[in-house]
Amino acid sequence: ILRAFDLQTGYEIERSKNGSGPFNYEFHPGLEAQEAEGMTIWDLDDANVPGITGKLHILMLENDVRSSDDVYFKHYTDKFAYPVLYTDSDYGGGPLPLRANLPNLETKGFNDVISSVWVPSGWVIEVFEHAYFEGASTQFRISDSSIHNEGWGDRISSVKIFPPDAKQPTAIPNAPAPVCDGTIVDGYCWYLGREGLSCNDVCASHGGYDSATRTYAGSSGSSVKCWRVITSLNITLDDFYETAQSGRGCFVIRSSSGNYLGYWDELPTTADVPGGQRICACRR
């Protein structure tokens, strides 16, 4: 059996299975010299590692006296070893594995952009609205594919982690999710702006701009999701186009029939560009 450990924390990351499973060290009794002759684990923080981050890499050499030696190069994600923060719903974007408390996500480039969290069994993560563990907070004891549903999407600025064998934090009730006066689609709160308003204008009275305008229905999302939001807002379309128009993201223009033409703008979506009637995600 091979057992892989994190040398900093001492936690066992994975234990091999004999003959099956994603971490498989095969041993066949009766065959001579069937062994993992050498194993190398690269330090992922070492600048000499050839462009590899976020995974455990193992090189195994099998010395078989009856035939040619075999070389196995295997790598294993650490997704299930630690809590992980993601910038998109459904565990996409990023990711940012949590190996220690992070008092300021801005230093990692992850401030106010988290949309889903992966929490391994027995772990607890406590998230805070402001840096240095200030402001409103809540806890996640299980994974959540869209924390927008709890009012925490694009809102986390610092985080504490509690491994299974650590003293657990006192449970706190989750704050009620902010009310969405618009239309919720996949956990985000959407509005149809008036003609000529930017999304900053649209969201000024709804808790502020939500980056899902860009990451979900805008340039970092997809035209399919833009169309989904438009139809969820009960906007009747005569046609739908992909275009490139000054970073307006997802927007509509009134057609001569009285219905609308829908557009998805592939240029980088911005919050402050007006044009047509923009489809905007706001915080509430």
Write the CATH number for 117: 2.60.20.10
Lowest mean pLDDT segment, chosen from 34-38, 180-184, 203-207:
34-38
Residue 136, in any domain of the structure: yes
Q: Which of 77, 92, 108 is the C-terminal boundary of a domain?
A: 77
Task: Identify whether residues 110 and 156 lie together within a single domain.
Answer: yes
Encode pLDDT of 132-151 as tens digits: 999 889 999 888 888 887 78
For the chain, what is the radius of gyration of the CA atoms? Answer: 24
The arithmetic mean of pLDDT across residues 99-128, rounded, is 90
Neighbours of 59 (CB within 10 A): 15
Residue 178, in any domain of the structure: no
Strands across the sheet containing 70-77: 36-41, 55-62, 70-77
Task: Identify whether residues 68 and 90 lie together within a single domain.
Answer: no
Task: Identify whether residues 99 and 73 lie together within a single domain.
Answer: no
- List the domain range (segments joined by +) for residue 65: 3-77
Residue 171, in any domain of the structure: no
Residue 177, in any domain of the structure: no
Q: Which of 77, 109, 138 is the C-terminal boundary of a domain?
A: 77
Highest mean pLDDT among 161-165, 174-178, 263-267: 263-267
Highest mean pLDDT among 13-27, 51-65, 90-104, 197-211: 197-211
Residue 172, in any domain of the structure: no
Q: How far is CA 184 from CA 148, 214, 272, in A?
A: 10, 16, 22
Q: Is the pTM of this model over 0.85?
A: no
Lowest mean pLDDT segment, chosen from 12-21, 83-92, 154-163, 249-258:
12-21
Residue 17, in any domain of the structure: yes
- Give the pairing of strands 237-243 and 260-265: parallel
Domain count, the chain: 3
Task: Identify whether residues 73 and 91 lie together within a single domain.
Answer: no
Q: Determine contact, residues 82/98, Cβ cutoff 8 Å.
A: yes
